Structure 1
Amino acid sequence: MEVSSVKKYAAEAFGTFVLTLFGCGSAAVAGATLGTLGIALAFGLSIIAMAFVIGNVSGCHINPAVSLGLFLDKRLSAKDLIGYWVAQFIGGLVAAAVLALIISMCDLGGVIMTGLGCNGFGEQSAVGLSVVGALIVEVILTCVFVLSVLGSTADERTAPYAGIIIGLTLAFVHIMGIPLTGTSVNPARSFGPAAVLAASGDVTALSQVWVFIVAPLVGAALAALIWAGLKKKATN
């Protein structure tokens, strides 16, 4: 039975909410304790959990870059692409607002002090990565991540395990990316915390968020191009 658009969009909003709340929340609340590996696992495990909750409803994209990659691979309509994007950004924004509320009730020095798990470059990068470096890193990381989605969901032999494969790949790209940019690979996950942090008085993350919207979308388009070439060779 075909799932209604409303249910699919609601599922995407919910899934993105969970990913952003638990992933960014782990970085903001317990980043010093968890370290890079712990935060990476928080993001990856969020994907695995949501894949088994909403995968049969919306496909569990919960990421505008993933939706773009599947659209370019002709597995998502233009109508659903826009609907998914809107839902995903709403989910990320609501999650960031809820996270800010939770932090405001903790003894953590306030929302701005925690950073809300925002991405950044320059002084906002743990290693001082430049804006050009951030663009390159996010394109590469997103390309690898979206390729894992396109590949694991295209073959019936791997499709039952796609959620696990994708979740572990997300954790894997976070391990390298966290010290560099905080790892976005997901425009909705980046925009929500940046917007809420700006509402709290710190606009730095919001002024940089364009990198974490543009680069993941470029990375997704590159992944779709590479995947198209791999499929063509496989059929020759």
Structure 2
Amino acid sequence: MKKLIAEFIGTFWLVLGGCGSAVLAAAFPDVGIGLAGVALAFGLTVLTIAYSLGHISGAHLNPAVSIGLWIGGRFSSKELIPYIVAQVLGAVAAAGVLYIIATGNGSEVGTFAANGYDELSPGKYSMTAALVTEVVMTAMFLLIILGATDDRAPKGFAGIAIGLALTLIHLISIPVTNTSVNPARSTSQAIFAGGAALGQLWLFWVAPIIGAVIAGLIYKGVFAEKK
């Protein structure tokens, strides 16, 4: 139960910090943090949770991460579904808090930092571009996570590598999909944005999971220490 609470809180913080920065601060007149600021905010949420709650649950904060670690032989199958449920619930709870804050000055919810393609893509990128982006970015994210947390990797630095990786991923892919690589994050925002965002949500489950599976298989088959 401690692990599930840690995953709930950690994913809550990721969505509140990352999506909160996109919804509240990115376009603030004259002094907004912009895309680079949003990318950094997502990285900082992972970095801070990795060092505060990572020793309890591993700080997955993301169904794709849990699935990738499971495929890579680093996570037990019996914990997989409970982790995913805790992550989604934490993300939705954060989106609920963010909704209350964002509409507190009379603003409409708008796109609410939801992920999307075609008309919902910030740069109007196609479904194919979105699918490729999310698969590749998630695969790279999982390879970095699996490598940074390997017993042979330098100790104590995994959180830094993972947080910076998520920052870089956002710098690359915000214009394409608003960056998911995390089905829980995508679900939480789509619920409140509604409409087309919910209709496109399937891609932001399918693509990150495919990317995670690819990375798990590659790391286990190529880089894992043979026993």
Q: TM-score, normalised by structure 2?
A: 0.94
Shift of 1:158: 2.4
SS in 2 for 1:144: helix
SS at match of 2:26: helix
- Out of 150-159 and 122-131, give the one that drifted further: 150-159
Q: Kindly state the Cα deviation for residue 156 of structure 1 after the two structures are TM-superposed.
A: 4.3
Counterpart CA distance in 2 for 1:187 and 1:11 is 18
Note if 1:183 corresponds to 2:211.
no
Contact 2:73 2:220 in 1 (8 A): no
For the 8 Å contact 1:120–1:205, the answer to whether it is kept is yes
Distance (Å, rounded) in 2 between the aligned partners of 1:169 and 1:21: 19
Task: Confirm or deny that 1:219 pairs with 2:196.
Answer: no
The equivalences for 1:201-216 within 5 A come to: 203-216=195-208
Aligned 8 A contact 2:8 2:90 in 1: yes
After TM superposition, the structure 1 = structure 2 runs for residues 103-118 of structure 1, keeping only pairs within 5 Å, are 103-107=102-106, 109-112=107-110, 115-118=111-114
Q: Compute the displacement of 1:54 (Å).
A: 0.6
Pairwise CA distance, 1:74: 1.6
The offset of 1:36, in angstroms, is: 1.4
Q: CA shift at 1:49, angstroms?
A: 0.3
Does the aligned pair in 2 maintain the 1:194–1:206 contact within 8 Å?
A: yes
Question: Given the alignment of the two structures, is residue 168 of structure 1 paired with residue 160 of structure 2, yes or no?
Answer: no
Cα-to-partner distance string for 1:108-138 (whole Å, 9 max, x where unaligned): x2212xx221111001112211111111110
Post-superposition offset of 1:235: 5.2
| SS of 1:65 mapped into structure 2 | helix
Question: Which deviations, in whole Å up to 9, do the C-alpha atoms of 1:59-103 show, x marking residues without a partner?
Answer: 000001110011111221111111100000000111111100011
Offset, 1:160: 1.1
How many percent of aligned residue pairs carry the same amino acid? Answer: 46
1:230 deviates by 2.5
Matching of residues 124-135 of structure 1 within 5 Å: 124-135=120-131
1:19 to 8, 14, 20: 14
Question: CA–CA distance in 1 between the matches of 2:40 and 2:137?
Answer: 16
Give deviations 1:188-223, integer Å, cap 9, x for gaps. Answer: 01000101222xxxx111111111111000000011
Moved over 3 A (4+): none
The 1:159/1:222 distance shift into structure 2, 3 A limit, reads: farther
Q: Which runs of 5+ in 2 are unaligned?
A: none
How well do the aligned residues superpose, as a CA RMSD in angstroms?
1.4
Give, as a single letter, the amino acid of the residue that structure 2 aligns with 1:9: L
Partner of 2:70 in structure 1? Answer: 71
Whether the 8 Å CA contact 1:25–1:116 is kept in 2: the answer is: no
Q: Work out the number of aligned pairs and report it.
A: 223
The one-letter code sitting in structure 2 at the alignment partner of 1:44 is G
Which digits, 9 at most, give the CA deviation of each residue in 1:25-60, with x for residues without a partner? 111111221111110000000000000111110000
Structure 1 stretches lacking a partner, 5+ long: 1-5
Residues 147 and 153 of structure 2 are in contact (CA less than 8 Å); yes or no, is this contact kept in structure 1? no
Greater percentage in helix: 1
3-state SS of 1:127 partner: coil
State the partner residue of 2:86: 87
Distance (whole Å) between structure 2 residues aligned to residue 152 and residue 39 of structure 1: 23
| SS class of match (1:41) | helix
- Mapped contact 1:121–1:131 kept (Cα < 8 A): yes
Rounded to whole Å, the distance in 2 between the matches of 1:84 and 1:49 is: 19
- Measured in 1, the distance between the counterparts of 2:48 and 2:215 equals 24
- Secondary structure of the 1:45 match is helix
Amino acid at match of 1:16: T
- Structure-2 residue corresponding to 1:56: 55
